[in-house]
Structure 1
């Protein structure tokens, strides 16, 4: 068998991972106003869906939205200011792009590791490693 034939055969038998990222959808935020505070009701569930630490996501939201906030005893994020669900969803999409989805294969099968003080996004699907800004 010639090289080109073997290459064609190998490519035709290789599974296509391109469409696999469709199984991941950035979760929608469930928010409500309470005075001048925005309460992110499903914050803990969003953290679980993204597979990320609550404190890490909270710090990102504070920076992205330019506000202060905290996680209350019920696990809800309380953000100072009036933020609608669309604005929170945009911040979650930015977080997912930076800290959840692999920049190489686009899959969400990643973990955050600290190496020599730097935060590294390591993909368990393709093995790619990339530095993040956080």
Structure 2
């Protein structure tokens, strides 16, 4: 049974009829689709560096804060704002040294849990699980945009 009689009646060209045969071949079409889809790069295991914490009096210093922010692909100011809000404390990010100074005593275990929550809420795509995302501000709304699958999700402001 001929599925495309009107096209084949117009096409007398051998190359065009060969292309039409390819369109009927499911395996060839499937292979072509997989060639066009970009590889999924960010959904593997995501390892966050362990926070290097120093406690001085009532302050907590995270020495490798710049490295953590770079691994998360987020600005250090954004990550520090999140941590300060969650810990309900003041603090400052020192750009020169890449350290975050918090005005509260915090264990490295609590910081690790907060960073894991940050990854889940503000880094990982809820649709495909990729970490290849970025945050856009549209008007007053912050949106998490996945570069792997194109999904968009509004975020809670912090």
Q: TM-score, normalised by structure 1?
A: 0.83
Q: Secondary structure at the match of 1:91?
A: helix
Instruction: Give the total of aligned pairs.
Output: 127
Q: How does 1:102-117 map to 2 (within 5 A)?
A: 102-117=125-140
CA distance in 1 between counterparts of 2:44 and 2:84 reads: 28
Question: Tell me, which stretches of 5 or more residues in structure 1 are unaligned?
Answer: 1-5
Please say if residues 26 and 96 of structure 1, whose CA atoms lie closer than 8 Å, have aligned partners that are also in contact. no
Q: How does 1:1-134 map to 2 (within 5 A)?
A: 21-72=43-94, 73-134=96-157
Cα offsets for 1:21-75 (capped at 9, x unmatched): 2332233211110111000000000010000011110100001111110012412
Cα offsets for 1:84-117 (capped at 9, x unmatched): 1100001100111111000100110000001122
CA distance in 2 between counterparts of 1:109 and 1:24 reads: 11
Please say which structure displays the higher CA radius of gyration. 2
Cα offsets for 1:104-131 (capped at 9, x unmatched): 0011000000112211000000000000
Q: Secondary structure at the match of 1:39?
A: strand
CA RMSD after TM alignment: 2.4
Question: Tell me, which stretches of 5 or more residues in structure 2 are unaligned?
Answer: 1-25
Please say if residues 120 and 129 of structure 1, whose CA atoms lie closer than 8 Å, have aligned partners that are also in contact. yes
